[in-house]
Amino acid sequence: MLRKLDNLSVAGLILAVCAFGLAFVRLAPGSAILSGAGGGSWIKFPEPFDLGRRPLRIESASFRARCDLASPLSFVTIELRAMKAARVLVDGRVVQAFGDMNAWKEPRAVTLPALSAGEHELQVDVADDHGPALLKLSAPALGLSTGLGWEASRDGGPWVAARDATAPQEADISRRFPTAAQSFLKTLPVTGPIFLLILVFSWLGLPAPKPGTFRWILLGAWAALALNDLFKFPLHAGFDAFDHMRYIWFLLENGRLPLGSDGWQMFQPPLFYLLCAPIYAVASKLGGPAAPLYMVRVIPLICGALQIELAYRLLRRAFPSRADLQRLGTMFAAFLPMNIYISQAPSNEPLAGALIAAVIVAAAALAERAKRRELAALGAALGFALLAKVSALLAIPAVIWFLWPRHGKRGAALVLGAAALVSGWFFLRNGIALGGPLLTLGTVRGFIDWRQDPGYRTWSQLWFWGGALTRPIYSATLGLWDAFYSTLWLDGYLSGVVVFDARPPWDYDLLCAGAWLALLPTAGILLGIFRGLVGKDALKRDALGLSVVCLGVFLAAFVGLFLLNPVYTTAKATYTLGLMPCYAVLLCAGLERMCAGRISRALVYAGMTCWGLASYCAYFIR
């Protein structure tokens, strides 16, 4: 009974927090979420989806429609929502203007002058200082509402049909890559025989290496890929790679830590850059001009290898008597595309991911009993993770939830105190110098002079449109879950490259085929989540329960970031890189029952092997 109450209370708390978060995001003044209330559809000027950064300036557009009145009207009221300032004109004469760009979320009522019988033109000029100009209007008395039939113009240019702002929009570059279906069929002559071979071997029950030995084999494969790609992965690729390098250059040139106001990415905590600076300095003296640019990649690659080891250790704790599941989950960690491609370029993400994963695995290891120094060490690891990236804060609720029943408030205080002791100085410095301790993407908007498409959010973008299963490259423009899927299972953002001719030298047939091959591990993870939530051991404080709670917290923050920051690049699965061991545990928990039967187990092994080898070969640069 107590366990059921505990499960219900946790589930209720999660739902309450999610509801509160969505309400906050919807009402937050800075959130550019389009309201579905009122008549008409949101419309905008039609233009291709721009994957690059554009200067932050006021963008304007004009929208118009015509109506033909059979009889005169003396009193007409229309309701409009505009993003953001608006001016209403009837037959070319200004009726009313709304200049406050902070009040755009509220509906605006406009009373039109008396209208005679005959044709009239209603025009609305809209201007926005942080995104595209959008309009939503309803005028029942005139038989008008925004949608089909409306025209749009920009900067006095020709009038063209307006576009539905809520409709999914594909980036042009997506069509220059093979579809997932084409790639799957093209690679089938290779993946098919591998599938059949592993299927037969598994069905025959041939001996497999012990999990510990298998882990070393996978680490060797990772090292081979890392050494092969180290000097082949182009220097221009990588998410904000140049800006991360600027942080390192700032340290070497100025001998001090930057502030968030010193440039883009300068708001990041300093640990990664402090580790890279001496490597860069030594490589600059020993090698050519490009040598330090390559050598700073060593740390992300080492962090990627650590993820494999950490996943293996959590799997060994979660499934102590299941060598097959330990091998399966460790292979998953070694071949997960998200971990492979993000580790190729200089970025603090792999270091933060490895440290967050280490905190989760260490917390699971302290499940039963722990000495004070072990709890303090856990807190110190958490502190170092916070000095790598502020997203490590998301690990705190799950870790405290896990440890509290075993070590109480004193244990929790010891962990948090040690974390504060290690990392608190950085946040205190931000508070003194910049007026706030947490400088993240959202809080440094005042230092950013650019924006990205789409510039707004709709609730429909929270649905999975399936673009990641058809044209996965840059399917992130379609919505949240297409973005998550295409960046978890493949390099859907081309490592931050937006020009086709400058794309990373991956094998794009194997890469795009991975969108279909990943359906099996996707199903395994979803089944693992289901088992962790509603199974007989739902939300039990073990490795599976910890994994479910960690994923829930990170996904809640992921959705919040997506809604609050209306640029397509905020939706990346790599933000959950620290959950690598959790993904591995969820996968094995979901596939555990499938591995009980001889035939089903052989099918799982064959499918996972095909997925893993395709992932590995896709990113092994030739």
Which pLDDT score, from 0 to 100, does residue 357 have?
97
DSSP assignment letter at 35: P
Beta bridge partners of 151: 64, 161
Is 445 a member of any domain? no
Does 139 lie in the same domain as 4?
no
At residue 5 the predicted structure's pLDDT band, cuts being 50, 70 and 90, is very low
Q: How far apart are CA 360 and CA 310, in angstroms?
A: 9
Is 599 a member of any domain? yes
Phi, psi of 370 (to 5 degrees): -155, 140
Which pLDDT score, from 0 to 100, does residue 481 have?
93
DSSP class per residue in 275-290: HHHHHHHHHHHHS-TT
CA-nearest of 612, 603, 618, 608 to 199 is 603
Percent of the chain whose pLDDT exceeds 90? 65
Specify the amino acid at residue 332. Answer: F
Strands across the sheet containing 85-90: 93-98, 85-90, 118-128, 59-69, 151-153, 160-161
Does 128 lie in the same domain as 77?
yes
Which pLDDT score, from 0 to 100, does residue 4 have?
43
Which pLDDT score, from 0 to 100, does residue 536 have?
67
DSSP class per residue in 180-210: HHHHHHHHHHHHHHHHHHHHHHHHHT-----
Does pLDDT of 368 surpass 80?
no
Which pLDDT score, from 0 to 100, does residue 22 have?
61
Does 159 lie in the same domain as 179?
no
Burial state string for 11-28 with b = 16 or more CB within 10 A and e = fewer than 16: eeebeeeeeeebeebeee
Which pLDDT score, from 0 to 100, does residue 3 have?
43
At residue 436 the predicted structure's pLDDT band, cuts being 50, 70 and 90, is low
Does 285 lie in the same domain as 264?
yes
Q: Are 276 and 245 in contact (CB under 8 A)?
A: no
Strands (DSSP E) contained in 253-395 are: none
Give me 560's structure tokens.
């919040």
Does pLDDT of 119 surpass 60?
yes
Which pLDDT score, from 0 to 100, does residue 358 have?
97
Is 380 a member of any domain? yes
Does pLDDT of 172 surpass 80?
yes
Which pLDDT score, from 0 to 100, does residue 513 have?
97
Of 164, 184, 213, the residue at which a domain comes to its end is 164
Q: Quote the number of domains for the chain.
A: 3
Is 151 a member of any domain? yes
Does pLDDT of 577 surpass 90?
yes
Is 93 a member of any domain? yes
The mean pLDDT of 540-551, rounded to a whole number, is 87
Question: Which comes out higher in pLDDT, residue 572 or 100?
Answer: 572
Around Cβ 372, how many Cβ atoms within 10 Å? Answer: 12
Percent of the chain whose pLDDT exceeds 70? 92
At residue 54 the predicted structure's pLDDT band, cuts being 50, 70 and 90, is confident
Does 133 lie in the same domain as 226?
no
Is 358 a member of any domain? yes
At residue 433 the predicted structure's pLDDT band, cuts being 50, 70 and 90, is confident
The mean pLDDT of 398-419, rounded to a whole number, is 89
The mean pLDDT of 52-81, rounded to a whole number, is 90
Is 447 a member of any domain? no
* Helix spans in 494-542 (H): 508-517, 519-534
Which pLDDT score, from 0 to 100, does residue 26 have?
61
**Burial of 253 per CB tally in 10 Å (0-12, 13-18, 19+):** exposed
Does 204 lie in the same domain as 55?
no
At residue 1 the predicted structure's pLDDT band, cuts being 50, 70 and 90, is very low
Q: How far apart are CA 548 and CA 579, in angstroms?
A: 10
Does 264 lie in the same domain as 147?
no
Q: What is the CATH number of the domain that holds 51?
A: 2.60.120.260
Which pLDDT score, from 0 to 100, does residue 11 have?
56
Domain that holds residue 313: 172-436+452-618
Does pLDDT of 6 surpass 60?
no
Does pLDDT of 211 surpass 70?
yes
Q: How far apart are CA 162 and CA 152, in angstroms?
A: 5
Specify the amino acid at residue 243. Answer: D
| Stretch (H or E) spanning 484 | helix 480-488
Give me 345's structure tokens.
């370029």
Question: Which comes out higher in pLDDT, residue 438 or 195?
Answer: 195
Q: Are 426 and 459 in contact (CB under 8 A)?
A: no
Beta bridge partners of 160: 152
Tokens 């905008």: give the residue. 44
Around Cβ 96, how many Cβ atoms within 10 Å? Answer: 16
Question: Which comes out higher in pLDDT, residue 379 or 1?
Answer: 379
Residues 215-265 pLDDT 10s? 999 999 999 999 999 999 999 999 999 999 999 999 999 999 888 777 778
- Three-state secondary structure of 370-427: CCHHHHHHHHHHHHHHHHHCHHHHHHHHHHHHHHHHHHHHHHHHHHHHHHHHHHHHHH
Does pLDDT of 383 surpass 90?
yes
CA angle 452, 461, 51 (to 5 degrees): 25
Residues 339-348 pLDDT 10s? 999 999 999 9
Tokens 């790599």: give the residue. 574
Does 480 lie in the same domain as 368?
yes
Does 215 lie in the same domain as 72?
no
The mean pLDDT of 564-577, rounded to a whole number, is 91
Give me 17's structure tokens.
């927090």
Which pLDDT score, from 0 to 100, does residue 443 have?
47
Which pLDDT score, from 0 to 100, does residue 563 have?
87
Q: Are 458 and 34 in contact (CB under 8 A)?
A: yes
Does pLDDT of 359 surpass 90?
yes
Does pLDDT of 20 surpass 70?
no
Does 179 lie in the same domain as 103?
no
Of 164, 189, 205, the residue at which a domain comes to its end is 164
Which pLDDT score, from 0 to 100, does residue 61 have?
95
Is 428 a member of any domain? yes
CA angle 59, 101, 19 (to 5 degrees): 110
Which pLDDT score, from 0 to 100, does residue 450 have?
77
Which pLDDT score, from 0 to 100, does residue 24 have?
57
At residue 441 the predicted structure's pLDDT band, cuts being 50, 70 and 90, is very low
Of 117, 133, 164, the residue at which a domain comes to its end is 164
Which pLDDT score, from 0 to 100, does residue 533 have?
86
The mean pLDDT of 589-593, rounded to a whole number, is 92
Of the listed ranges 159-168, 305-314, 362-371, 483-492, the least confidently predicted one is 362-371
Q: Strand, helix or coil at 466? A: coil
Does 427 lie in the same domain as 546?
yes
Which pLDDT score, from 0 to 100, does residue 491 have?
96
Which pLDDT score, from 0 to 100, does residue 442 have?
45
Does pLDDT of 69 surpass 60?
yes
Tokens 């809520």: give the residue. 166
Does 231 lie in the same domain as 145?
no
CA-nearest of 574, 588, 600, 480 to 528 is 588
Does pLDDT of 353 surpass 90?
yes
What residues contact 331, with CB distance under 8 A and at least 6 apart? 214, 218, 608, 609, 612
What residues contact 497, with CB distance under 8 A and at least 6 apart? 236, 237, 503, 504
Does pLDDT of 448 surpass 80?
no
Q: How far apart are CA 458 and CA 37, in angstroms?
A: 12
Helix axes 180-204, 598-618, angle to 10 degrees: 130
Helix axes 372-388, 271-286, angle to 10 degrees: 70
**Mean of the per-residue pLDDT values for the chain?**
89
The mean pLDDT of 163-169, rounded to a whole number, is 92
Residues 264-313 pLDDT 10s? 788 889 999 999 999 999 999 888 888 999 999 999 999 999 999 999 99
Beta bridge partners of 138: 79, 145
